[in-house]
Amino acid sequence: MKAAVVTFPGSNCDEDTVIALERLGVEPVRRWYKDTDLGGAEWVILPGGFSYGDYLRSGALAARAPIMDAVEQLVARDQLHVLGICNGFQILCERGLLPGALRANRDGKFRCTWEGVRVASAPSAWPGFQVGQSFRLPIAHREGAFTVSEQELDRLFQEGTVFLQYCDREGRVVDEAANPNGSMGAVAGLARGRVMGLMPHPERAVSQFLGSEDGLEFLRLWLQGR
Question: Nearest-5° angle of CA 110, CA 45, CA 164?
Answer: 60
Catalytic annotation present for 203: yes
Catalytic annotation present for 86: yes
| Extended strands (E) in the chain | 2-7, 27-32, 43-46, 81-85, 101-103, 111-119, 134-141, 145-147, 162-167, 187-192, 195-198
Q: Which of 72, 115, 143, 203 is catalytic?
A: 203
Rounded Cα gap, residues 43 and 79, in angstroms: 9
Give CA torsion, residues 170, 222, 71, 9, to 10 deg. 60
Catalytic annotation present for 217: no
Q: Which of 81, 94, 167, 201 is catalytic?
A: 201
In the sheet with 27-32, reading across from the earlier edge strand, the strands are 27-32, 2-7, 43-46, 81-85, 195-198, 187-192, 162-167, 111-119, 134-141
With CA atoms as reference, report the closest residue to 49 among 82, 14, 18, 19. Answer: 14
Q: Read off the DSSP letter of residue 63.
A: G
Q: Which residues contact 142 (CB under 8 A, 6 or more apart)?
A: 54, 104, 105, 108, 109, 110, 111
Q: Which of 13, 86, 93, 167 is catalytic?
A: 86
Phi, psi for residue 186 in degrees, rounded to 5: 55, 30
**Positions marked active-site:** 86, 201, 203
